[in-house]
């Protein structure tokens, strides 16, 4: 006889999953909850919380990828576990802890293609758009919203719906980066639809100077100088915004230097020839004479006509053409920017790792190695960069760093050493081979001193050495013992 009170197996499963989901919802956002009130717009995010979240996501991705790059797969891990006699002594303790196994399993899942989340996370930034409200991670569906706890009130949802709608309308017009990966060169020139404005772009002032029948107002409106003035301002602002948004880690000086390369007369002249503006320009200047103002001015009027064309686009249709100018100039400037970065060492967009020195010392540093940083060039009016060498006791230079000050240059020197894997392996093995008793520096009296810090500074203050001398093991001192200064500055018992 059937038991009609018994729920079908699928229904029981769905009920169990709902209970689990309900429990997760109850625990979700616990740091924000206060009683049962919905979260308000003002307290959904706190500033310090946002800073920590962004920092955590950045570190999460960096270290997740580092695990995949460094770790062997699980098969290799097991081979090492099964043959401990062939494993280095300094590595063996780590094999008994959980971290290497966890890393090996993650690397194996990635090798087998079973870790799609990592690929999604790596591509997250490129797929992100502030105007797109759909989830990017595949396992998160829009339908899941109904299962989540209310973390914001309805007013906030309506607010963000309105913001997103407006952003979607503007996104089509105001993008900076080209969407196509394979671009034709040169990028398509935006079109000036008003024929009168387009004609004025290519009329040089020399064509109007002898037209005495024109009033001053008519003369101003008949050539391209006003359009050049407008275009110069738009060009400067647009290139500034492109560089400012594209390179958040460049300093003001580096941005200014790069901008000058992009808006110089020589660069604009090349772009003008690229679009054959030189063939369209109408002028009364003699272009054939070798010693005239035209030659002495390095053909500046060709740079001017390029700016005039930008001004013509804005005068023709400012609302629709300004985003087009931004996209066009972004594509046009891209190879120039790439070229400048290759030949100019001052344009360094790599973020400085503030923990580079500590990381390096933790890998290879010990007292006898005397890892330290030697400034070899300070910033000056001739060269605004500092140079610092990362050295060891015998004077060997492990790496060199450049930066706008000594501190940053030192960090970059450590970063350069960290990128040299064979070098790191060599000195890490040397450190592992040094007996513990020999890994400290001894003074003339035989008393032990602490090893130098990661920047090579040796802590040898009298008070700390005296404290170590009094408290160190094996120091048999009588009541008449006293600490005296040695000729070399160290301390000893007398």
> What residues act catalytically?
232, 307
SS3 487: coil
Q: Which helix (H) or strand (E) holds 278?
A: helix 277-280
Please tell me the distance from the alpha carbon of residue 340 to that of residue 338, in angstroms, as a whole number: 6
SS3 403: strand
DSSP, residue by residue, 174-199: ---S-S-SS--SSPPPPP---HHHHH
* DSSP 8-state symbol, 88: -
Report CA-CA distances (Å) from 206 to 203, 209, 215, 276, 443.
8, 5, 16, 20, 84
Among residues 54, 13, 49, 32, the alpha carbon closest in space to that of 148 is found at: 32
Positive or negative: CA dihedral 408, 409, 411, 412: positive
Please tell me the distance from the alpha carbon of residue 130 to that of residue 125, in angstroms, as a whole number: 11
**Full 3-state SS string of 248-265:** CCCCHHHHHHHHHHHHCH
């Amino acid at each position: 006889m059937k038991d009609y009170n018994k729920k079908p197996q699928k229904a029981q499963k769905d009920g169990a999953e709902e209970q689990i989901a309900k429990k997760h919802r109850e625990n979700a956002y616990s740091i924000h909850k206060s009683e049962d009130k919905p979260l308000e717009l003002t307290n959904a995010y706190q500033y310090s919380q946002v800073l920590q979240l962004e920092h955590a996501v950045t570190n999460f991705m960096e270290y997740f990828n580092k695990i995949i790059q460094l770790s062997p797969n699980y098969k290799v891990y097991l081979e090492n576990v099964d043959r401990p006699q062939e494993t280095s002594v300094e590595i063996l303790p780590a094999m008994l802890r959980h971290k290497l196994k966890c890393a090996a399993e993650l690397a194996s899942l990635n090798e087998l293609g079973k870790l799609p989340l990592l690929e999604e996370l790596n591509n997250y930034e490129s797929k992100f758009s502030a105007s797109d409200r759909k989830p990017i991670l595949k396992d998160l569906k829009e339908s899941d919203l109904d299962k989540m706890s209310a973390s914001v009130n309805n007013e906030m949802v309506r607010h963000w719906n309105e913001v997103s709608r407006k952003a979607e309308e503007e996104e089509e017009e105001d993008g900076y980066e080209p969407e196509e990966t394979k671009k034709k060169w040169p990028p398509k020139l935006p079109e000036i639809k008003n024929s009168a404005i387009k004609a004025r772009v290519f009329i040089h002032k020399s064509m109007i100077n002898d037209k005495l029948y024109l009033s001053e107002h008519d003369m101003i409106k008949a050539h391209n100088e006003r359009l050049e003035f407008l275009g110069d301002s738009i060009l400067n602002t647009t290139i500034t915004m492109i560089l400012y948004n594209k390179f958040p880690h460049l300093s003001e000086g580096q941005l200014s230097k790069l901008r000058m390369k992009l808006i110089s007369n020589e660069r604009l002249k090349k772009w003008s020839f690229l679009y054959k503006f030189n063939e369209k320009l109408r002028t009364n200047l003699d272009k054939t004479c070798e010693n005239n103002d035209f030659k002495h001015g390095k053909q500046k009027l060709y740079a001017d006509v390029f700016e005039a064309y930008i001004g013509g686009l804005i005068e023709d249709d400012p609302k629709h053409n300004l985003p087009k100018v931004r996209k066009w100039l972004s594509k046009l400037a891209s190879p120039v920017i790439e070229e400048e970065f290759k030949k100019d060492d001052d344009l360094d967009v790599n973020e400085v790792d503030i923990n580079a020195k500590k990381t390096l010392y933790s890998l290879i540093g010990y007292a006898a190695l005397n890892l330290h940083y030697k400034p070899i060039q300070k910033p000056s009016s001739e060269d605004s960069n500092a140079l610092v060498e990362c050295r060891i006791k015998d004077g060997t230079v492990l790496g060199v760093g450049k930066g706008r000050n000594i501190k940053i240059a030192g960090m970059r020197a450590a970063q350069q050493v960290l990128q040299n894997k064979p070098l790191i392996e060599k000195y890490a093995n040397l450190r592992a081979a040094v007996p513990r008793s020999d890994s400290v520096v001894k003074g003339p009296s035989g008393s032990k001193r602490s090893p130098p810090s990661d920047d090579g500074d040796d802590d040898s203050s009298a008070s700390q050495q005296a404290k170590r001398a009094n408290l160190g093991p094996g120091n048999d001192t009588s009541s008449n013992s006293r600490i005296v200064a040695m000729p070399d500055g160290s301390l000893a018992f007398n």
